[in-house]
Chain A
Amino acid sequence: MATHDPNKDERTEAAKAYAPYAPPPVLAPGETLESITHRITSIVLRRDTPNGWILGFLLSAGVMGLMLLSIVWLLYWGVGTWGNNMPVAWAFDIINFVWWIGIGHAGTLISAILLLFRQQWRTSINRFAEAMTLFAVACAGLFPALHTGRPWFDYFLLPYPNTMRLWPNFRSPLDWDVFAVSTYASVSLMFWYIGLIPDLATLRDRVVNPVARRIYAFFALGWRGSARHWHRYEKAYLILAGLSTPLVLSVHTTVSFDFATGQLPGWHATIFPLYFVAGAIFAGFAMVLTIMIPVRAIYGLHALMTERHLQNMAKVMLVSGLVVAYGYFCELFYAWYSASHYEKFMMVNRTLGPYWWSYWALILTNILIPQLLWSKKVRSNVFWLFFVSMSINIGMWLERFVIIVVSLHRDFLPSSWAFYTPTKWDFGLFIGTMGQFMFFTFLFIRMLPMMSIFEIRTLTPEAQVKEHHH
């Protein structure tokens, strides 16, 4: 019987010669099946909870309390507590909806699209990014649901047999949004959960606490790593990735239709689907880095999340950022080339009008600062990367502010022009959802393996099996 020596260097001569120029490894050398399992599960299975975690958790719970307070206040008084009014009927609620849902897109991109492209570096970050998708979609869904004014009637959005004999308007992009976002949330949740099943079984077999063992065992569904199960599991996972890929592209395309099908100057542009999807990837990767950089440092996960991961994410941000910049350029071009008086005025108003600062802050944070990523020094320095990611987080919010508020506040009729100012409850709800996002993120870090253990195992030399061909 052939024995396999994992320490033997089996690379070809050419591969050895090029080794110094090869990218850094996706897994630090010397990691074994046991060391990987221990590294990831020990974060969850340690008996004492670190003080930093408790502090962060309580802080985010407090901010989430602000969200709940803002919701209660809104339900009591109505949408009038927000700054929305004619002509700016869409404001913070839609800005924040689009901002959050865009952030969520990186999770699906990393877990599905990079899986189809066989990018091995995705394995250490996909679980975290998928969790981020779920929490971001939970924050996003809140805004349009509350914006309906009477959220207890939100089920009217769904097609169901009713005594009023009414249907939702299937020709409206707002209804497409209902289907796109709810499908996206369901598929993301299922994708995340089936990815977790083998790791939940690992926790079940290692946890000491009997109550925790029962909970992990319940959700592990009795997973035992059978070869027949793995066969169907891998097939289902791959097909799910294939289904999620067009899905994630369709979700932000549909979100962009909310604007692009309107006739308002600044919304009515065919470039919208492309640059919304690119912007979602841009924003999502920025948020993954914003959270993963501190988590990696705090939990010492450098062996599993190497410099290669940071570099690659920075490159994806750079490319998607350039597509976004192309979108901004196209808007300028359309305004000139359309020869439409209103389109031209929209662009002048956007760059030089009362909200001029938001446009130029957007250009600075979303286009100019991300150009730092061309430098390898910036890409391999966590402080600079964190700075650029924060800049993009702010920039992508400003982008939606510019598109929504600045386009709406001066439309066709000068008599209906007005200025928009958010109220403290607008800010309360927005900041509150960040608390909710962090609240779930803290719980996730403490209770579930934040990296996909079984997928990282396949990166070890031990997992490389030679097949028999007969």
Chain B
Amino acid sequence: MSHGNAIQETGMFGLLAEFSSAQALVDAAEAARKAGYSRMDGYSPFPIPAMDHALGIRNTRLPWLIFAAGVTGCLAGFGMQYFASVIHYPLNVGGRPANSWPMFIPITFEMTILFAAVTAVFGMLIINGFPKHYHPVFNVSSFARATSDGFFLAIESSDPKFHEEETRAFLNSLSPVEVSDIAR
């Protein structure tokens, strides 16, 4: 049996290192990635764009999803008006064409925006896995500072390179404020 499985049995989610500044967190994440860790995450009270590179986060596919939703909204908006005015209930008003498309543009536009915006919001929430009111990192009492002035790096026990003592020693070498166990 490998050492990794033994840790799984003890029920540990991983190790959490707290850092004193955003710069220290980015530097630590960079070092951890270079040391070969991959299953890890940074936690900070505000977005740090440099973390994307430090953790090796790839660009999200969210923009394509939003684009597709916008195109759908556009077609649905125009299609609804076309269906109503040309197919389902054509109304001859002074000989004007049933498909008076310039008149359909405002609603088509609003529907495009509505579909895209709903997808942007709910797509972001769903891909992020929200709502998720329980997560093991919340078990660390100092983690409450992650939403005010604390900067954290968690290396998870599912990482193939994770070894409780070696990883702890590695995190301690990055001059953290403290390193805590994350109970599952």
A binds B: yes
* Bound CA span A201–B175, Å: 27
Q: Which residues of A contact B125 (CB under 8 A)?
A: 194, 221
* Bound CA span A337–B41, Å: 67
**Most chain A CB inside 10 Å of its own CB: which residue of B31, B44, B106, B137:** B106
* Bound CA span A229–B144, Å: 17
Question: If A167-B84, A463-B22 touch, does A231 touch B104 (CB 8 Å cutoff)?
Answer: no
Q: Which of A15-23, A182-190, A384-392 contacts its partner?
A: A182-190
* Bound CA span A187–B117, Å: 7
Q: Which of A239-247, A297-305, A410-418 contacts its partner?
A: A239-247
Q: Which of B3-11, B45-53, B157-165 contacts its partner?
A: B45-53
A229 touches B113 (CB 8 A): no
Q: Which residues of B contact A34 (CB under 8 A)?
A: 148-149
A239 touches B120 (CB 8 A): yes
Minimum C-beta distance from B48 to chain A (A):
6
Minimum C-beta distance from B145 to chain A (A):
8
Minimum C-beta distance from A157 to chain B (A):
12
B106 touches A1 (CB 8 A): no
Q: Which residues of B contact A37 (CB under 8 A)?
A: 45, 148-149
Q: Which residues of A contact B111 (CB under 8 A)?
A: 179, 183
A222 touches B134 (CB 8 A): yes
B172 beta carbon closer than 8 Å to chain A: no
**Could you tell me how many residues of chain B have their Cβ less than 8 Å away from some Cβ of chain A?**
73
* Bound CA span A467–B145, Å: 24
* Bound CA span A230–B127, Å: 12
B124 touches A194 (CB 8 A): yes
Q: Which residues of A contact B21 (CB under 8 A)?
A: 4, 6, 462
B147 touches A198 (CB 8 A): yes
Minimum C-beta distance from B39 to chain A (A):
12
* Bound CA span A82–B161, Å: 75
A: contact size bracket: 35 or more
A166 beta carbon closer than 8 Å to chain B: yes
Selected from B24, B120, B143, the residue in CB contact (under 8 A) with A236 is B120
A230 touches B48 (CB 8 A): yes
A227 touches B117 (CB 8 A): no
B148 touches A170 (CB 8 A): no
A186 touches B103 (CB 8 A): no
Selected from A165, A179, A202, A229, the residue in CB contact (under 8 A) with B148 is A202
Name the prevailing secondary structure of the A interface residues. Answer: helix
A8 beta carbon closer than 8 Å to chain B: no
Selected from A193, A231, A243, the residue in CB contact (under 8 A) with B120 is A243
Q: Which residues of B contact A342 (CB under 8 A)?
A: none
B103 touches A467 (CB 8 A): no
Q: Which residues of B contact A179 (CB under 8 A)?
A: 106-107, 110-111
**Nearest 7 interchain pairs by C-beta:** A236-B124, A4-B23, A227-B42, A33-B149, A230-B47, A221-B131, A167-B84
Residues of A within 8 A of B (CB): 1-4, 6, 32-34, 37, 159, 165-167, 170-171, 173, 175-176, 179-180, 183, 186-187, 190-191, 193-194, 198, 201-202, 204-206, 217-218, 221-236, 239-240, 243-244, 246-247, 250, 254, 257, 454-455, 457-458, 462-463, 465-468
Residues of B within 8 A of A (CB): 21-24, 26-27, 29-31, 41-55, 57, 60, 62-63, 66, 80-81, 84-85, 88-89, 93, 100, 103-104, 106-107, 109-111, 113-114, 116-118, 120-121, 123-125, 127-128, 130-135, 137-138, 143-149, 174-175
**16 new A-B contacts at CB < 8 Å, known A231-B51, A458-B46:** A6-B21, A175-B107, A198-B147, A221-B125, A226-B42, A227-B29, A227-B51, A227-B57, A230-B48, A230-B51, A232-B124, A235-B63, A243-B117, A465-B49, A468-B30, A468-B50
